[in-house]
Amino acid sequence: MNYNKKNIRDIDVAGKKILMRCDFNVPYDKKTGVITDDTRIVATIPTIRYLLDQNCAVILTSHLGRPKGEWKKENSLFSAQEKLEKYLGMPVPMTTDVLGPNTREMAANLQPGQVMLVENLRFRKEEEKNDPEFSKELASLADIFVFDAFGCSHRAHASTAGVADYMPAVAGLLVEKELDIMGGALENPKRPLVSILGGAKVADKIGVINNLLNIADTIIIGGGMAYTFQKAMGGDIGESLLDEDRLNYARNMIAKAEEKGVKLLLPVDNRITQEFSADAPYQVVEAGKIPEGWMGMDIGPETEKLYAEALQGAGTVIWNGPMGVFEFDAFAQGTNAIAKAMAAQENAITIVGGGDSAAAVEKSGLADQITHISTGGGASLEFLEGLALPGVVCLEDK
């Protein structure tokens, strides 16, 4: 995938009407629709402000949740509207329909220096189907398409890719930053490149591991997926998470890493418990020696030291996936240790690849000491796999 895409600074946007795809699909209360984490909204504000400073009329679009083509109150973007008005300090009127008479009228009347928000695009089934007519109609609202929704870039939907068939398409400042930093780390990394992979399942990270074995100098494995590797090496993992049909894959990856001269690090100890709860008493045992009836919940203190040492002197660090059940404080210790070790690498480019890892770093209070925290969950994962992202591919090349 070509990461060198035109952005809003590369073309003349002055006075133009802009159709901007944002990612306001943020954590929210499923009953009330009230947003509980507005990080992704805040991340888009610089692009909106730049366009308004250029005297553009800005039409914002997004989705929230999975309403599956039906209007649902809890999936309305009213909470995003309130946040936008707060951060922009101006009215942000929202449409009452999606590409109906109200949307068309509001878009037609929108003046330079004004901004509006279209109601949840997924209230229309055509959005996820990438329906050409729907894409064409969306495109007819404006002159230029600005894509600033990196978290949705792995989806080939009408508002992420389809509209680019009918109008000039460029990146917003957020997507530009994601492509520059993450693309640079994969294409021409400052070495040594250390990759930390966690999360629940090996299956979720197969493509990432395959790709990083060709790029990384060191790969660190933690989280639930580590137990499959431990089992593959003949260890006992008790009731820990296991991807049974990936055991051969794990063995092959260990062999492949050795063959390519990539250092592959696995936990040497684990925090284990007999019940999956926040206040369950735990023990620390050697990796691969988890007794029956016990489950691994986090990497252990010796592993924390080993992994922190592996980060010393790194040029680039990419982290995707927590080291344990970080939602429980007792089992967030390994994840926090990784966050601290990354933050301590002042000369390294440190990247956290969205989703749970981003939430963990925010929770640890170290987010401001990390070079880049991606706004993409699934998108950053596919990016690390080296896959082409539809929302990026459709943008104009520099």
Q: Residues 133-169: pLDDT tens digits?
A: 999 999 999 999 999 999 999 999 999 999 999 999 9
Residue bearing tokens 């990759």: 195
Please report whether residue 12 resides in a domain: no
Amino acid at 86: K
Average pLDDT on 111-129 reads 98
Q: Say if residue 168 is exposed, middle or buried (CB neighbours under 10 Å; 0-12, 13-18, 19+).
A: middle
Residue bearing tokens 């978290």: 151
Residue 122 CA, chain-centre distance (Å), reads 20
Quick count: other Cβ atoms within 10 Å of Cβ 143? 15
Quick count: other Cβ atoms within 10 Å of Cβ 62? 26
Q: Among residues 132, 152, 173, which one ends one of the domains?
A: 173
* Paired tokens of 208: 């990432």
Residue-level length of the chain:
398
Alpha-carbon distance of 80 to 1, in angstroms, equals: 32
Residue bearing tokens 């109008």: 167
Please report whether residue 368 resides in a domain: yes
pLDDT tens-digit map of 241-263: 999 999 999 999 999 999 999 99
Q: Are residues 45 and 156 in the same domain?
A: yes
Q: What is the DSSP letter of 113?
A: T
Q: Are residues 156 and 195 in the same domain?
A: no
- Per-residue pLDDT at 37: 86
Q: What share of the chain is helix, strand, coil (3-state, %, to 5)?
A: 40, 15, 45
Q: Are residues 131 and 186 in the same domain?
A: no
Q: Are residues 107 and 228 in the same domain?
A: no
Q: Are residues 162 and 142 in the same domain?
A: yes
Q: Is the pLDDT of residue 53 over 90?
A: yes
Q: Are residues 311 and 349 in the same domain?
A: yes
Tell me the C-alpha to C-alpha distance, in Å, between residue 73 and each of 81, 96, 191, 202.
14, 12, 49, 37
- Is the peptide bond between 132 and the residue preceding it cis, with omega within 30 degrees of 0? no
Please report whether residue 10 resides in a domain: no
Sign, CA dihedral 355-185-247-289, equals negative
pTM of the full structure: 0.91
CATH number, domain at 64?
A: 3.40.50.1260
Q: Are residues 147 and 218 in the same domain?
A: no
Q: Are residues 300 and 339 in the same domain?
A: yes
Alpha-carbon distance of 279 to 309, in angstroms, equals: 30
Q: Are residues 209 and 246 in the same domain?
A: yes
Q: Say if residue 154 is exposed, middle or buried (CB neighbours under 10 Å; 0-12, 13-18, 19+).
A: buried
Alpha-carbon distance of 282 to 286, in angstroms, equals: 13
Please report whether residue 353 resides in a domain: yes
Average pLDDT on 15-41 reads 91
**Please, are residues 142 and 107 in contact by the beta-carbon 8 Å criterion?**
yes
Measured at the CA of 191, the angle between CA 189 and CA 192, to 5 degrees, comes to 125
> Phi and psi (nearest 5°) for 388?
-80, 130
Q: Among residues 123, 147, 173, which one ends one of the domains?
A: 173
Domains identified in the chain, total number: 2
Which residue range(s) make up the domain with 336? 182-385
Please report whether residue 379 resides in a domain: yes
Q: Is the pLDDT of residue 354 over 80?
A: no
Alpha-carbon distance of 349 to 355, in angstroms, equals: 19
Q: Are residues 242 and 160 in the same domain?
A: no
Alpha-carbon distance of 356 to 116, in angstroms, equals: 31
Residue bearing tokens 């600005």: 146
- Per-residue pLDDT at 392: 97
Q: Are residues 357 and 279 in the same domain?
A: yes
Please report whether residue 214 resides in a domain: yes
Alpha-carbon distance of 389 to 378, in angstroms, equals: 11
203 band by pLDDT with thresholds 50, 70 and 90? confident
For the chain, how far is it from start to end, CA to CA, in angstroms? 13
* Paired tokens of 366: 């170290």
Average pLDDT on 324-338 reads 94
Q: Which residues pair with 316 in a beta bridge?
A: 193, 349
Which amino acids are annotated catalytic?
40, 201, 355, 378
Q: Are residues 126 and 198 in the same domain?
A: no
Sign, CA dihedral 92-93-94-97, equals negative
- Per-residue pLDDT at 202: 85
Please report whether residue 9 resides in a domain: no
Alpha-carbon distance of 299 to 287, in angstroms, equals: 9
Please report whether residue 133 resides in a domain: yes
| Stronger pLDDT, 85 or 201, i.e. the higher one | 85
Residue bearing tokens 């489950």: 295
Alpha-carbon distance of 95 to 121, in angstroms, equals: 11
- Per-residue pLDDT at 109: 98
Q: Among residues 156, 173, 190, which one ends one of the domains?
A: 173
